[in-house]
Structure 1
């Protein structure tokens, strides 16, 4: 399904609001487009209508005019069957009006000389005696039309009020509906981030993902709020205007219809050129966001190694690329937007005035002056929505490119979050012949087989890259195995939903992550099942209460991003308390004591005794002194278990573990000296 159809499906979610908005828009257009029709009637009936035949009458009412002792009434004001007297005519030559007291044919070229009007038509000249009307006399003939002019003006004013109300209503409905669509889309994008596998984040910089959620969805917002509303408005306006043009004069309307294919070809060519630029612009902006995010996170390293100039240069290259393609897009917009519309509009006006304008001023005109005026008015109005649509083409392309990038993220295979109550595990974990590779053919684990029984503490040791963290990633199903089996209480974890699997599992990482909020919210993660008392107990059990109590607000002390106002040891203690508060059956400590000072380590070692009660604990450690009391120690080397046993048996075996332990003890001794 293409991008346009997918965006349309989002709009259908709020179709009622969009339909109401479009109906209000149609009413606003209808009310507004009656203006030229009213103006046409004012000109043809009430202003130029004075040149229609007049007849003497004996009636005395608001439609009759007294001139030199006789009463006259215009031809179209007589009732059916009402008697008519002698005919008279009024005609305009230049800026003056003349009265002809007889029937006269005025179609042709007219001139006035020696109290006579000469009318030349097809080479034949006819003369009629005529008298020039004074302004006061002329006003008498116009006076019956004043009431009609005021009436039409009042009707037009009321229609404009209604058009304004409908215009407000349609803009409110369309834009509020558009904002709801973007709200829904942003929610879907953020929810998808929670669904995609961990491997997705291995290959995508955080800044690029943030750009999808913020910049790209904001561009799509402009599509719904501005672009589509302008296009909807433009299409309805154009449809209304063309309908009005066909009602006025079919020939003129057919001539203007040539604008439609020109506009379609125009938009098609523009989109083809602009799409290329916008893809590069959005991609470059995403790279810029990624680099800024990376630079902020790595600022201590950048400054410590004096890489400010190099980092700035790299940023300037990206920024220059973004600037360059933005300028190319601006040049394209300058050539194909408002300027081109103005040229087309002016050419259309020149052609119409040249072809029809002179003829309409003649008495035997093919079209009336009122029709010409209304047509010019409609033509001018026609180019307003065209200008609005064309000026939105740049944002349209930006939005479509951004939508394409967002839908790529939404199309990533993800995992639906399933809420399901399951009994707490006993904690028996079995790895049976497990092999795993992040990249095909490059195994990081080979034939891993071991069993951790309920309540045991299992330590994983080995050099960097030996596969310790990979084992825990598989147990959590951050990655899925393709060979072997992992069982929890005899159940294959590959047959369990991931959310259900992790229901009774907890983890503490080497670099603990704290969220913006408070101490208490970071322990409970705002889970309603974890009470305030449970939070306090968890903090007390891990030995973190002494430092929490000295904070100004205690458990309610604000925590900023990543908990940067707390020491690494304090952050680690809070992550221990978080794991304990959730009471997992299986607990994983991934290098949890690696970055902690000796004093804090002693506190955590005491807390570990509490943590390990009634749960199976896996400890990944480089500092072997922290795992001496483990029930089982697995020594890994290049993805294989090379030794297995407790501390005493492994020391007696004098193998790899013994060597590692001796080296660390020797290092400590040398440091002590």
Structure 2
């Protein structure tokens, strides 16, 4: 799947939680703005209060909170006089080294190197020297001149904590709502993926191991969750932070902002180049992870076979090879991340700092005064904040690419064509089934060739033949797991292709040779959670198939827990529950796929009468390997290489002396098999 298509689909899913996403992004933007207020407060504190003591002072006759008493006179900073307030003589407070001096006159230019000796303040700038009489100030006198600045500094400190509190609250809200939104999106995505899996045709699962499907529903969707939580958070906060930082840079100084724009194209090229290599590695990594899940799932399912045939070492070697390849590509990703993560960010940051400090800092130190010290401090602070989100974004590049690859795998699964789901139901049909010249192939070669037969309501049709003869394929077509390439199949005269698959299957039941039980209880495995099947119906179905006696030893009865596949129950007990399940759903068409093969002789005798009850009034198809179990079938179809080679009742086929007779003879032994009767051969021949 293309990257842009994956991005569009992710955006579509993000819209399912757009309200909380928008709220999170608003909080993020407010939090960034509040966080960036700090450098501006620091700039104001330095330029307007701490360094502003060097601004011109004027003598005043008014003694107020902003006036400073010195040597019996009052002085006030020039920018604090009102329009109608009279100004006296100018004075300056200037810093020389760690000391401060008082100059009782105007100073033309304060740039250059300063020195104070024997009551004289000297300025040296570009070979010119300027001298002013001055008095050194004591600590108390310096504090007196700083005292009017304290209210302003405290106000700024107060605002700093206000913005800090806003930033903390917004950070909490952003994190909470962003993760809440991500959880909503992933819940929706997983529901959709699982629902789509339910609609996928059966042949899809024939070609894809269960472990790989599970990996896409769990591991890949979890990686997509990281995209919305970690990656989205870092990238959105990073972009908003960078926008805020650049606004702050340009507000501080246009020239500084323009110089730092070189970072943007570097980051863009970096991301594009990184993803070019990372996508290739991550695609293999996610694929290997799916294969690892598949082999683990297969090994657990077949653990008894692995141990009986002592294949532990071979299975372990297969797993280690996959794991080794997984680790190899993980190491390639680690190398890529090591070369292109925060190390490169540090290089770009140091380069930016070097340029700014070289150009503006050297000029400031040289006394040119291109920008104020407060602006330079604020700029360095803001510039440092520019690289914090860049580092966060870069550190999430690996997660971004992993998430995009995983999302592509999930959406590729969802792009697989599924069977349409039709709401509603149809009345219970009678169960008259007819195959007319049906031919079917899974791939190229036909496994069924010109199959024609009719099964009327209440009849039992047995399908016999060697492995690969086409017995299961007929059942697959009847269930519409597949549709034939040629011919038609009708139920009560209606072509099955014209009926929704769910409607047809609603009135069908099946008992497999190896029944499948789900985690739950015996009752839930009979009803499969269908609310229409009451507890009384469950108990009656178990009683009718003879399961009550067999299952009477279970402590909790119908509520006895059943683990996955019913592994704590015997094969006979599992089969009886499967019989009860089919009976409880009251199907019009019943399929028994060698249903008594795993049941012992005593149990088989117990349910033979129950089988007659189960088959009564229903069209029953039996796939049989033990021919003794189908003697009472109304019609036996003998299949060979996809064709019906014989048909008839048990007695007629024995009398025919053909393939069925040979099979029956092999099973019972030549001494027990009856010889074919010539008088019975002709009716059987007429049925072919």
TM-score higher than 0.5 here? Answer: yes
Q: Secondary structure at the match of 1:423?
A: coil
Shift of 1:118: 2.1
- Per-residue Cα deviation, 1:523-569 (whole angstroms, up to 9, x for no partner): 00010000000000110111111122220100000000100011111
Secondary structure in structure 2 of the residue aligned to 1:644 = strand
Task: State the alpha-carbon separation in 1 of the partners of residues 367 and 165 from structure 2.
Answer: 37
In 2: Cα distance, 1:578 partner to 1:33 partner: 67
Corresponding residue number in structure 2 for 1:274: 278
CA contact (8 A) 2:542 2:548 kept: yes
Deviates more, 1:85-94 or 1:517-526: 85-94
Work out the CA distance in 2 between the residues paired with 1:443 and 1:551: 48
Match status 1:248 vs 2:265: no
Match of 1:103 among 100, 106, 118: 106
Shift of 1:127: 1.5
| Distance in 2 separating the partners of 1:366 and 1:669 | 115
Q: Is the 8 A contact 1:418 1:499 kept in 2?
A: yes
| CA contact 1:591–1:622 (8 Å) conserved in 2 | yes
Residue of structure 2 in register with 1:52 after alignment: 55
Q: Which runs of 5+ in 1 are unaligned?
A: none
Q: CA, structure 1 residues 372+585, in 2 after alignment: closer, same or farther (shift >3 Å)?
A: same
In structure 1, distance between residues paired with 2:348 and 2:555 = 71
CA distance in 2: counterparts of 1:396 and 1:43, whole angstroms? 41
Give 5+ residue unaligned stretches, structure 2.
674-688
TM-score calculated relative to the size of structure 2: 0.96
Say which SS state the counterpart of residue 257 (structure 1) adopts. Answer: helix
- Cα distance in 1 between the residues matched to 2:447 and 2:608: 31
- Which of 229, 236, 240 lines up with 1:225 in the alignment? 229
Deviation at 1:313, TM superposition (A): 1.2
Is contact 1:427-1:616 (8 Å) kept? Answer: yes
What is the match of residue 334 of structure 2?
Answer: 330
Conserved 8 A contact 1:516-1:559: yes
Q: 2:400 aligns to what?
A: 396
In structure 1, how many angstroms separate the alpha carbons of the residues matched to 2:83 and 2:513?
101
Distance 1:286 1:71, change over 3 A: same
Alpha-carbon distance, 1:361 to partner: 4.3
Cα deviations by residue, 1:259-305 (Å, 9 ceiling, x for unpaired)? 11111111111111111111111111111111111111111111111
The equivalent residue for 1:66 is: 69
1:80, CA displacement in angstroms?
A: 2.0
Q: Are 1:589 and 2:602 an aligned pair?
A: no
TM-score by length of structure 1 reads 0.98
Task: Determine the structure 2 residue equivalent to 1:239.
Answer: 243
> What is the aligned residue count?
669
Residue of structure 2 in register with 1:405 after alignment: 409
Query: C-alpha distance in 2, partners of 1:478/1:86?
Result: 103
RMSD: 1.3
Q: How does 1:271-350 map to 2 (within 5 A)?
A: 271-350=275-354
Match of 1:537 among 536, 540, 543: 540
Decide whether the 8 Å contact of 1:20 with 1:173 is kept in 2: yes
**Partner SS for 2:115:** strand
Checking the alignment, whether the CA contact within 8 Å between 2:665 and 2:672 is kept in structure 1 is no
* CA distance in 1 between partners of 2:672 and 2:408 (Å): 61
Deviation string 1:465-499 (CA, Å, 9 cap, x unpaired) is: 00000000000011111210000001110111111
Given candidates 204, 209, 225, the residue that maps to 2:213 is: 209
Distance 1:189 1:559 in 2: 27
The alpha-carbon deviation at position 105 of structure 1 amounts to 1.6
Query: Alignment partner for residue 260 of structure 1, among 260, 264, 267?
Result: 264
Q: Is the 8 A contact 2:434 2:452 kept in 1?
A: yes
The aligned runs of 1:383-532 (5 Å cut-off) are 383-440=387-444, 442-532=445-535
Equivalent position of 1:580 in the other structure: 583
Tell me the alpha carbon deviations over residues 298-328 of structure 1, each in whole angstroms, 9 at most, x when there is no partner.
Answer: 1111111111111111111111111111111
Matches within 5 A, 1:15-94: 15-94=18-97
